[in-house]
Structure 1
């Protein structure tokens, strides 16, 4: 992704060396023509983020000397098909004054809004960020949890608000270059007043550790978020191996929301071909919410053709089969439980 750097004149005016600081403007605009077919109704729409999530962001860094640096990252999701912004969640809860999903008429920095301090000891990061428990689902998904091909271990997940991101978080990241090992820990707050049964709602933590060296990359994560109605646990492990002619990926997940347990897995791969790449995955997610154990199984196949380093055309086909009372449908289609649904994506992605 080509990045535009803008020198910070403010620091120069304050007597600091402007060359030591920079701000980067970056983004993705991804338009998708999406078709969904179900047993009850079909849907055709121009939507977004079929390959990469559409976004607009700003990030900056200041060299503090002695190996230390300070940085910020503000990243807003956007719906370029209609010009609206994306919603966010203020307190990691589905209800309450701070849980209102806002921003559909304007940009919110819902994807990430953090400030960091880094050094040889690692990075301390504060603000809204991806949760550690999400990373294995997206990194080890050939479709990167975007578009109709998104792994069913995320589409059917039962863990709620903190499945992908957490607000009010304090995170720590291990330093780079420690023999291939990497990891992060995150603690997040629900910010409720004390004295009520729900005072701990939205409070939780996540930890992820991994190892990446040569063609191998493996990682595991576990987390817990507190709610008076029942705590939420999200745990997974994933990995990939790059054979050169193909990159194989897989992950396993085991989640819990109160008394309900969900289990899932994915296996898939990325296969480079000329200026493009074939993507394929099979994923499954099952819960014990009822005795019939609702289960969704998805097969997805796609192709990405790179016109340049920043611009790509793509297409994806996916089909999900439901059983045991499951009712998962693709691209807005409608259907009855225990039936199947088919989806298609055709799109263009431009990054800057």
Structure 2
């Protein structure tokens, strides 16, 4: 009898172990004092308490369940939070401007996915980062946050899916390929199919392939998002190539990007970034130079220098500051931190902030 009870207990324990699950609450609260100033006729400056100067403020829930046999199921719900005023962040329900919503209550705009994973990779459904965005943020020393964000993203022609896509089906290669990694994603605009030119708006596909091993990381991504051809809209094609090398004393980063909007008169843009992360005691120096220009009339071009420092008070809390200057030509008028600057003029901005993660 005792042997039978022991055997049952062992079997029960094995069953629990093979079906383990967990749910995690996580987030970041990042508060920033941000100032921007413009120059030239009609320019203005702006000071504000805002958020996400170093890391994006967020509140999230994620969980996973072991299904046995090397397979697992998971979910990820992550909402952007404007902690300076308590509002939620915007999202897009259909990868088009008509689907913009949010800014009031909590929306899981950053990520809302459910997935199945095994030794063959991961299948993920929902709202997620697009493959074409990953290179922009991974190879930007400022992680596409705050006043130092690369100009290849801020001036880019990538449209509503430049960062995330809703209604997507994604596949990720497994992590045991000797350093090779990859992502494929297809997303839908979910318009009624009525034969009109706009029925495929917001629909697209993208792929990213890379290699990371030791100090080396390099990846290429390309995407195409469909929009009806008009004088101001058309299919958007984006391609970028990024890489980094960690020398120990510094990690160097570089990125080149090219966009094309196939409207009635095609508009294309190209940009580049070079930067570095330099460890310094309990902190890190961040520096980057980025530029982007298009072939529109006068060839608008913006160039940005950014320099920042992060001081880690602990693994979860950091103080940071960043200063940046953007110079415009060809009719461009990019400005920093909410300021307004005249065409072909300069704009300067800086951030001071604190980040706490949990």
The TM-score with structure 2 as length reference comes to 0.92
> Which structure 2 residue ranges, 5 or more long, are not aligned?
1-11
Distance 2:197 2:17 in 1: 52
Aligned to 1:223: 223
Alignment-derived partner of residue 38 in structure 1: 38
Correspondence 1:82 to 2:88: no
Query: Deviation of residue 17 (structure 1)?
Result: 6.8
> 2:117 matched to 1:118?
yes
Aligned residue for 2:3? none
For residues 186-226 of structure 1, give each alpha carbon's deviation from its aligned partner in whole angstroms, at most 9, with x where no partner exists: 00001011121111111100100000011000000000001
TM-superposed deviation, 1:281:
0.1
Distance in 2, Cα, partners of 1:66 & 1:110:
33
Structure 1 residue 303: Cα displacement: 0.1
Aligned length: 334
Gaps spanning 5+ residues in structure 1: where? 1-11
Residue pairs, 1:156-195, within 5 angstroms: 156-194=155-193, 195=195
Give 1:55-66 correspondences, 5 Å limit. 55-66=58-69
RMSD: 1.3
Matching residue within 277, 280, 294 for 1:273:
280
Partner residue in 1 for 2:104: 105
Deviations 1:282-336 (A, max 9, x none): 000000121x100000000000000000000000000000000001000001111
Deviation at 1:115, TM superposition (A): 0.2
> C-alpha distance in 2, partners of 1:160/1:90?
14
After TM superposition, give the deviation of residue 105 of structure 1 in Å: 1.4
Q: Distance in 2 between matches of 1:177 and 1:121?
A: 9
Q: TM-score under structure 1 normalisation?
A: 0.93
Asked if residue 70 in structure 1 is aligned to residue 69 in structure 2, the reply is no
- Mapped pair 1:319 → 2:325: yes
Runs of 4+ in 1 over 4 A off after TM superposition: 15-19
Distance 2:176 2:243 in 1: 20
Which residue matches 1:4?
none
Task: Say which of 252, 257, 272 aligns to 2:256.
Answer: 252
Alignment of 1:136-151 (within 5 A): 136-151=135-150
CA distance in 2, matches of 1:348, 1:158: 31
Shift of 1:102: 2.0
Alpha-carbon distance in structure 2 between the residues aligned to 1:72 and 1:159: 28
